[in-house]
Structure 1
């Protein structure tokens, strides 16, 4: 099963977050849709671990072309491949250098609360998080890529409404890309048939 093709939301409208790197992991794991397996992306800097569950929202396409990044504030670690039903509470806006050297691009991260998190179930917007927690999350996102050639810059926080809008926009972008790909494949298949294959 290709986890990247799961629906972005469940029947109740909660957002799916596929865990790649669980809380406490000192390495960045990345889901490879072609292999349908998790691969090692890179180790984090010494002493740095993921503070919460890190992963992506399936069937989305962010500005950088990858699925939309998400961090789920689960109280304890889960495992790669676990799917968490979440409520998005905010967005950490990030800008960084594109991998292909084409300039700067956005790489925003959705912050979400799993629906099965009774200790923090009252948090529904990023402003409800303690200021210290927000500051530490910001510092983590910078420290985690310190040795990468990303030159990441934080552009601030946005709340629940902006998170929902970003998810919807990324879902539409993924659907459009899928439609374009299918049209292209159908067009190429038609050409081959016309050629007397």
Structure 2
């Protein structure tokens, strides 16, 4: 296996390439088990504590973004890594997008669709990671879906799972989010 060509450590987070050999560059904002959601600060380029989850909630898996992307709300495209690997804040790793979960959220006004992409890290010595969303263990998918719905309910917002995204749909979302 050829090691990916990662950017130099002194490069700006804005210069992280999206593409890397065999997948995409993923940066960890919030590690698995954290009760604090972190986010990239556009002004300084560093990660900052964005919000605390409701009491009793913690991220079931690492959460972060794909390099050189911009989602509709202006932030980099967010992705969840359903893996038991312990990944530190700021870790940069190669991943393969599997698909995702389509969530519909509403509080005031019309309901808003929110796609949550999922990917697997491509690490040395990793046991056969899944290639497609349908290959993911159902208990991991349920954990992710329960987490997103329950977190919204804890802050008084309604959310429901309205479908799943396959690999090609997720890759299309990534292509649309590539920053020029």
Which category of TM-score, normalised to the shorter sequence, fits these structures?
Answer: 0.7 to 0.9
Considering only aligned residues, what root-mean-square deviation do their CA atoms show, in Å? 2.2
1:69 Cα offset (Å): 0.9
Aligned to 1:34: 43
Q: Deviations over 1:63-85 (max 9, x none)?
A: 33321110123322221111120
Contact 1:19 1:55 in 2 (8 A): yes
Which of 108, 132, 145 pairs up with 1:138?
A: 145
- In structure 2, the CA distance between the partners of 1:117 and 1:49, relative to structure 1 (3 Å rule), is farther
1:104 Cα offset (Å): 4.0
Where do residues 7-86 of structure 1 align in structure 2 (5 Å cutoff)?
A: 7-10=17-20, 12-86=21-95
- In structure 2, the CA distance between the partners of 1:104 and 1:89, relative to structure 1 (3 Å rule), is same
How many aligned positions are there? 170
Aligned to 2:12: 2
1:163 Cα offset (Å): 1.4
Aligned to 1:162: 169
Aligned to 2:160: 153
TM-score (norm 1): 0.76
Deviation larger for 35-44 or 111-120: 111-120
Unaligned runs of at least 5 residues, structure 2: 1-10
Return the structure number with greater strand share: 2
- In structure 2, the CA distance between the partners of 1:27 and 1:123, relative to structure 1 (3 Å rule), is same
1:106 Cα offset (Å): 3.2
- In structure 2, the CA distance between the partners of 1:41 and 1:142, relative to structure 1 (3 Å rule), is same
1:48 Cα offset (Å): 1.6
Q: Deviations over 1:14-57 (max 9, x none)?
A: 11111000011111111112112211111112222111110111
